[in-house]
Structure 1
Amino acid sequence: MKRYKCVATGGTFDILHLGHLDLLKKSFEVGSFVVIGLTSDIFARGNLNKNLRNSFEIRHKNLETYIHDKIRLTSYEITKLEEEFGPLMFSDQVECLVVSSETSIKGERINKKRSDKGLLPVEIVIVELRLAEDGNPISSTRIRDREIDSAGRIVSLKK
């Protein structure tokens, strides 16, 4: 059941995996329209110290394809994040922020900044991290390092 007209979520979405799918599914489950912040290359590399495999353009295209193939909804917009909180800081349209348990502290920081600007706080919906078969979180870094695949299965190394 949709509880909010507009929700926001965000990330780097470099190598898409089941954890991203959980985050996106929850966003579409609770919101009629989803604003997805996609970090720019400069912000991801410079401010977040991310080692990207894909450029912004490729990540954007891959994210659109992923949403089309896995979720099959079209009520969303992908925006470029050049800073930590992006348009959420100024929008009075966004009612909810969907975050992972790893990034939930950002929700509190966003609401503090929104309050300082005279805006109402947004609701925070937390999605637990998806664990790989070894019990550790699935992440793009672990996939890039060939520890696991995008479904969280351990990658066996051939010797």
Structure 2
Amino acid sequence: MNNNNYKYSHLVIGGTFDRLHKGHQAFICKAFTLAQTIVIGLVKNNFNKQKQLEEIIQSYTDRYLLLKQFLETSGYSKRYEIVPINDIYGTTLTDKRLEAILVTPETQFNAAVINKIRLKNKLPVLKIETIPLIKSDDNKIICSQRIRIGEINRNGKIYGRIFKNKLKLPDNLREELRKPIGKIINNSQQLTVNSEQLCGNKSLLIISVGDIVSQELEKQKIIPAIKIIDLRTQRQPICRDVINHISTMKKIINPPGFICPRAVQAVHKAISKYYQTKISQIVVIKGEEDLLALPAILLVPLGAIVIYGQKDIGAVVVEVTEEIKQKISNIINQFTMLK
């Protein structure tokens, strides 16, 4: 025990700390209860190649700055060192000051490997301290991957949970939803420019909501991963050849002014199936698909694009971010929940 009544003088932790979340914060704060000084190994981006949606993992610089901001605002100034690491070892095999390592049940094995090598290097083994992982609303682990795929927010709140009940759009929200959520495209020239940008990113997930928007995208050689359509435009049937092409598909009931659980489930299933097969999916709605742009935004991964039609305006392109998801979540929480 050192002079400051901490269990250890120097303790090491490590991680990517992408989109610093509630679990990360609990892990870091636990470390500071155990030792006077914490050495934090921050994973560089070239070590993240095997992670799901690694292309949208925050840059090392962004993660470093957010981590430092959290440490400073939490009162840990002058009690930490942040070091870049390219593997599971970091400085643990050479730093003679280290007395302990804090891990989760998922990374206990790494700590054992580190100690084995330290013994070979004639360094004292590190005391292994373990902290349980923090869980989200569904009792599953909060992790950065679940945030990247759009499933939860940084506090472990599940975006899709609200759709368990049928939701009705209240009259006082109609004006709010007439305001475009993203960038407006109101002519074919703008669509062409945006199409070229979208085509340049082959890994981008694109969801189109609306028959005309879906058709216009395909004219620009962009095939959305998921199309949500109702075979009507402004509540009138669209051209016969389009109807004949997909008239045999199962239609999901979703009346105008509502968001129904089965419709949301169909969208979620289509997203999952696309990732499994890489084959474009179509969700055909009987009723009206307009409001399904909202659950689509909440269900897709960060970085995805949702394009929907807005009457008398054109198309609206929404790049899905954590901020956009929170905005949509706040709007949907104002819907009337029906049993």
TM-score range, shorter chain: over 0.9
What residue identity is the alignment partner of 2:103? V
C-alpha distance in structure 1 between counterparts of 2:30 and 2:45, whole Å: 26
- 1:11-50 matched pairs, under 5 angstroms: 11-45=15-49, 49-50=50-51
Partner of 1:81: 85
C-alpha distance in structure 1 between counterparts of 2:155 and 2:103, whole Å: 20
C-alpha distance in structure 2 between counterparts of 1:148 and 1:19, whole Å: 12
Partner of 1:133: 137
User: Following TM superposition, by how much is the alpha carbon of 1:54 offset from its aligned partner in structure 2, in angstroms?
Assistant: 0.8
What residue identity is the alignment partner of 1:72? G
What residue identity is the alignment partner of 1:73? Y
Q: Secondary structure at the match of 2:20?
A: coil
Partner of 1:93: 97
Aligned: 1:10 with 2:38: no
Counterpart selection for 2:109 from 101, 105, 109: 105
C-alpha distance in structure 1 between counterparts of 2:96 and 2:48, whole Å: 26
* Bigger relative contact order (CA 8 A; separation at least 6): 1
| Dislocated runs of 4+, deviation >3 Å | none
Q: Secondary structure at the match of 2:106?
A: coil
Partner of 1:154: 158
Partner of 1:54: 58
What residue identity is the alignment partner of 1:19? G
C-alpha distance in structure 1 between counterparts of 2:126 and 2:87, whole Å: 18
Counterpart selection for 1:145 from 142, 145, 149: 149
User: Following TM superposition, by how much is the alpha carbon of 1:83 offset from its aligned partner in structure 2, in angstroms?
Assistant: 2.1
What residue identity is the alignment partner of 2:40? I
Larger Rg over CA atoms: 2
Q: Secondary structure at the match of 1:109?
A: helix
User: Following TM superposition, by how much is the alpha carbon of 1:101 offset from its aligned partner in structure 2, in angstroms?
Assistant: 1.5
Q: Deviations over 1:120-157 (max 9, x none)?
A: 10001111000001010000000111111111111137
Q: Deviations over 1:81-111 (max 9, x none)?
A: 0222011111110001011121111111111
Aligned: 1:72 with 2:75: yes
Q: CA RMSD in A?
A: 1.3
Structure 1 stretch displaced more, 128-137 or 99-108: 99-108
User: Following TM superposition, by how much is the alpha carbon of 1:116 offset from its aligned partner in structure 2, in angstroms?
Assistant: 1.1
What residue identity is the alignment partner of 2:136? A
Structure 2 residues not aligned, in runs of 5+: 164-293, 296-339
C-alpha distance in structure 2 between counterparts of 1:142 and 1:68, whole Å: 26
TM-score (norm 2): 0.44
What residue identity is the alignment partner of 2:75? R
What residue identity is the alignment partner of 2:35? G
Structure 1 residues not aligned, in runs of 5+: none
C-alpha distance in structure 2 between counterparts of 1:90 and 1:53, whole Å: 29
User: Following TM superposition, by how much is the alpha carbon of 1:67 offset from its aligned partner in structure 2, in angstroms?
Assistant: 1.6
Count of residues in Structure 1 that have an aligned counterpart in Structure 2: 155
Q: Secondary structure at the match of 2:33?
A: helix
Q: Secondary structure at the match of 1:102?
A: helix
C-alpha distance in structure 2 between counterparts of 1:128 and 1:60, whole Å: 24
User: Following TM superposition, by how much is the alpha carbon of 1:44 offset from its aligned partner in structure 2, in angstroms?
Assistant: 2.2
